[in-house]
Amino acid sequence: MENIINVKHPLLTNLVSKLRSIHTNSYDFRKYLSEVGRILLVEALKNEKMKEKELEIWIG
């Protein structure tokens, strides 16, 4: 499988351990899962090129 990326990040490892713990309540599970998502998003986009776009904004 060519599209698999192995992410080795110490914070990610720690968060996944907390997700798997039987002592993690539902609030913390959602919080940890959100953080995992952020880390994976950064890893997925780290090689993408940025595009410049001009925006019209309101200055008040």
| Domain-wise residue ranges, the chain | 10-45
- pTM score, whole prediction: 0.71
Dihedral sign for Cα 55, 35, 48, 1, please: negative
- Map residue 24 onto helix, strand or coil: coil
Q: What is the C-alpha to C-alpha distance for residues 8 and 55, in angstroms, rounded to an integer?
A: 37
Residue 16 makes CB contacts below 8 A (sequence gap 6+) with: 36
pLDDT in tens, 6-54: 788 899 999 999 999 999 999 999 999 999 999 999 988 888 898 999 9
pLDDT class for 58, splitting at 50, 70, 90? very high
Which residue has tokens 């899962």?
A: 33
